[in-house]
Amino acid sequence: MSRIVQPPVFDGDEVTATGLNNRFTQFSQAGALNATNLRDAAVDLPQMNTTSKFMMLNSAQVNLGTESFDLSAPRTLASYSGATFPAPAPVLDGAGVSTHLGPLGWTLTSGEILRVYWNLNVSPNGASTTNWRVAGNGGTVLPVRGGGTVIVADSGHAWLAWLQWDITSAALANWVPVYGQSDFQRNFTGALYGEQLNQTQATTVIPPWLDTITQVREGEVNTTLDAKRVGWRGVSGAYYYTVPGAPITVWGIRVVLAGLAHAYHIGNVNYFAWDPAIADAAITLSYTSGNLMALHHTTG
Amino acid sequence: MAYTPPQTFVAGTPLEAADILDNCDALRIYLHEDVLSSDLQATRWVQTRHIQPPQVDPYSGLQHGVTGFQGGQMGGGNLSRLTFATRFLTGNAIAGVVPSTWQPIPTTSFRVNIRRSCTMIFHYWMDIESGPDTATGVPYGIASDDRIYYITPYISNTSAPLKVIGQVGVNSIDGFTATFPLGADVQYTMNRGWQQRDGSYLYNATAGTNVTVGLCSYSQIDRVALINWSIALEVFYL
């Protein structure tokens, strides 16, 4: 309701100084103007409150990894070869200290969103091992022109990077995968440890090699294989989270790495599972520097 | 500032039309230009129609409104606007030469006038292919297989590129065949010289400043082509 409560002036009304003054001084009241008193397009930036955050509630950014501009001193992660899967490796700086966001103390409630963006320079190594040219375990069998077969990589192996957060305390001692993400540690069938793809909402896939046949004709190939080292490249990830229920407090966010995994399709479900059989001392993932940022803002 | 009627009426003095008009004019100006947030009712009543509509700059692809900037542009559309990075402007692949000022990548930047201290987020994406650069001999001290490039955001000028967060790429190691059928040894989608990457950078800007944000490069490779690319900007005043 408008705060202008004075009735209109009618013919025959007595006009007094007090009455006139009251009509104008009503507009000097604090906290009373509303839609009835302002025209369309009347609200602009000067009217917006500067003392409290309205849209962008929190933001943070951190450099990831180790700075090695000439790529001479990267950090290197070994491929995993055990029967079960340990905790993934967080991205570290040159001194071996975890690079992450936190402690943050951001409390997310309904109507708010957490957005996370990151990128990291990586170099998968070990293309020369070619121990992945095995039928049914990383290799695809192709017919050779003139007879016989050859095995080329199925391009199903990958290093995996994903997000973890700490929603317990500022101590940052309880890292878990973010909502909708797993740590790929479930023994879902037989000897396979991993997770189905509906739990990979914050996962980035890094191809470990590029294996090709040099000639293809009429469904047949030659026997010249070409295993290429992927080389240094930037990889990135993005993630969004809105609170489905009770508020949570995000204390830390980080990127973790592990490998090698392979894609599986079992019982009409797609999975990523670790492939320790393919591990080799030469199959590693090197990384240098990157960026991790997080935004916490309202959605309307 | 809060409304103060310029004329105060006193009982017993003549009432002039000009005095009433004075107060009305001042009230009109107040309601149109001078309302402060403290004058407004605390409970929610503002609808979209009450907010000053944003200004749209079709060239930069940005709209600037009460809450900040948003928008973007891309290298596609009716024309393909691919752009480049090159070693000829950044050290020429001479070993040990890394210029302090990197080269801005043409057309991949925004320049905005900041009206209030804000949080800016610059997003970028590119579909990029590089080389093959097989030039040898003096003065090149970097082997062809080891040549790299960096692309990174910069704020205001390229003399302080954000090197730490720059994304690296490599020279393609497959060249061109000299025998029939002539052409690339391996198509670009199958060699390591073709990649796509994206990134985001957060920056806090001060009111009353003009801020330029864009992409710049350092390259040891003669030709690095951003075949497709896009940039976007979010600026939050509130």
Closest CA to B162 of A67, A18, A26, A224: A67
Contact B3 A27 (CB under 8 A): yes
Indicate the residue type of B127: D
**In degrees to the nearest 10, what's the CA dihedral of A279, A281, A282, A285?**
70
Residue of A nearest to B3 (CA): A28
Q: Does residue A297 contact residue A63 with C-beta atoms inside 8 Å?
A: no
Contact A15 B32 (CB under 8 A): no
Contacts (Cβ under 8 Å, ≥6 apart) of A109: A243, A247
How far apart CA A270 and CA A266 sit, in angstroms, is 7
The pair of three-digit structure tokens given for residue B135, joined into one six-digit string: 């030039």
Contact B190 A28 (CB under 8 A): no
Q: How many helices (H) and strands (E) does chain B have?
A: 1, 13
Neighbours of A97 (CB within 10 A): 10
Neighbours of B152 (CB within 10 A): 24
- Provide, for chain B, the percentages of residues in helix, strand and coil under a 3-state DSSP scheme, each rounded to the nearest 5: 15, 40, 45
Chain B residue numbers touching A230 (CB-CB < 8 A): 192
Identify from A15, A23, A55, A56 which residue to disrupt to test chain B contact, counting B C-beta atoms within 10 A and taking the largest count.
Answer: A56
Is A76 or A300 the better-scoring residue by pLDDT?
Answer: A76
Contact A42 B9 (CB under 8 A): no
Q: What is the pLDDT of residue B49?
A: 85
Neighbours of A89 (CB within 10 A): 17
The pTM of the whole model exceeds 0.90? no
Chain-wide mean pLDDT for chain A? 89
Indicate the residue type of B136: T
- In the numeric block, the tokens 């991790």 are attached to A292
DSSP A128: G
Q: Nearest CA of chain B to the CA of A258: how many Å?
A: 20
How far apart CA A210 and CA B191 sit, in angstroms, is 8
How far apart CA A58 and CA A166 sit, in angstroms, is 17
* A 76-115 → B contacts, CB under 8 A: none
Q: How many helices (H) and strands (E) does chain A have?
A: 1, 21
- To which H or E segment does residue A23 belong? helix A17-25
Helix (H, G, I), strand (E, B) or coil at B21: helix
Closest CA to B125 of B234, B232, B235, B233: B232
Q: Where are the beta strands (DSSP E) in B98-184?
A: 103-113, 118-130, 148-155, 167-170, 176-177, 183-184
- In the numeric block, the tokens 């000022």 are attached to B101
Helix (H, G, I), strand (E, B) or coil at B125: strand
Contacts (Cβ under 8 Å, ≥6 apart) of B87: B93, B133, B147, B149, B219, B220, B221, B222
**In degrees to the nearest 10, what's the CA dihedral of A29, A31, A32, A34?**
140
Please say whether the dihedral angle defined by the alpha carbons of residues A130, A131, A134 and A136, taken in this order, is positive or negative. negative
The verdict on A40 touching B (C-beta cutoff 8 Å) is yes
How far apart CA B115 and CA A36 sit, in angstroms, is 28
Q: What is the pLDDT of residue A1?
A: 43
Is A223 or A184 the better-scoring residue by pLDDT?
Answer: A184
The verdict on A59 touching B (C-beta cutoff 8 Å) is yes
Residue of B nearest to A40 (CA): B50
The verdict on A235 touching B (C-beta cutoff 8 Å) is yes
Contact B121 A38 (CB under 8 A): no
Identify from A69, A120, A206, A296 which residue to disrupt to test chain B contact, counting B C-beta atoms within 10 A and taking the largest count.
Answer: A69
Contact B200 A117 (CB under 8 A): yes
Instruction: Respond yes or no on whether the N-terminal peptide bond of residue B181 is cis (omega within 30° of 0).
Output: yes
Q: What is the pLDDT of residue B110?
A: 95
The verdict on A28 touching B (C-beta cutoff 8 Å) is yes
Q: Nearest CA of chain B to the CA of A246: how many Å?
A: 24
Q: What is the largest CA-CA distance in chain A?
A: 113
Has residue A5 got a pLDDT over 60? no
Chain A residue numbers touching B165 (CB-CB < 8 A): 63, 119, 289-291
Has residue A3 got a pLDDT over 60? no
Contact A210 B191 (CB under 8 A): yes
Closest CA to A234 of B152, B197, B171: B197
The verdict on A1 touching B (C-beta cutoff 8 Å) is no
The pair of three-digit structure tokens given for residue B182, joined into one six-digit string: 């002539």
Count of CB contacts below 8 A, A vs B?
185
Q: Nearest CA of chain B to the CA of A185: how many Å?
A: 29
Smallest Cβ–Cβ distance between A31 and the set B40, B165, B199 belongs to B40
- To which H or E segment does residue B73 belong? strand B68-74
Contact A55 B236 (CB under 8 A): yes
Q: Lowest-confidence range among A21-25, A88-92, A204-208?
A: A21-25
Average pLDDT over residues A132-138: 81
Has residue A186 got a pLDDT over 70? yes
Smallest Cβ–Cβ distance between A232 and the set B11, B170, B204 belongs to B170
Q: What is the pLDDT of residue A273?
A: 92
Residue of B nearest to A208 (CA): B192
Q: Does residue B8 contact residue A21 with C-beta atoms inside 8 Å?
A: yes
Residue of A nearest to B7 (CA): A21
Residues belonging to chain A: 300
Contact A27 B41 (CB under 8 A): no
Q: Nearest CA of chain B to the CA of A195: how many Å?
A: 26
Helix (H, G, I), strand (E, B) or coil at B48: helix
Residue-wise pLDDT for B28-43, tens only, equals 888 777 777 777 777 8
Helix (H, G, I), strand (E, B) or coil at B190: helix
**In degrees to the nearest 10, what's the CA dihedral of B31, B36, B38, B44?**
70
pLDDT, one tens digit for every residue, chain B (238 residues)? 678 899 999 998 988 889 888 998 888 888 777 777 777 777 878 788 888 889 999 889 999 998 899 999 988 777 778 889 999 888 877 777 788 889 999 889 999 999 999 999 999 999 998 988 888 775 667 888 888 999 999 999 888 889 999 999 999 877 777 877 777 777 777 777 888 889 999 999 999 999 999 999 999 999 999 989 999 999 999 8
How far apart CA A210 and CA B173 sit, in angstroms, is 13
pLDDT bucket at A84, cuts 50 / 70 / 90: low
Chain B residue numbers touching A32 (CB-CB < 8 A): 39, 41
Residue of B nearest to A66 (CA): B164
Residue-wise pLDDT for A203-260, tens only, equals 999 999 888 887 888 888 888 888 878 889 999 999 999 988 899 999 999 999 999 9
How far apart CA A232 and CA B216 sit, in angstroms, is 18
Q: What is the pLDDT of residue A51?
A: 67
Burial class (CB in 10 A: 0-12, 13-18, 19+), B187: exposed
Q: What is the pLDDT of residue A37?
A: 72
Smallest Cβ–Cβ distance between A43 and the set B3, B46, B236 belongs to B46
Q: What is the pLDDT of residue A6?
A: 62
Q: Nearest CA of chain B to the CA of A265: how many Å?
A: 25
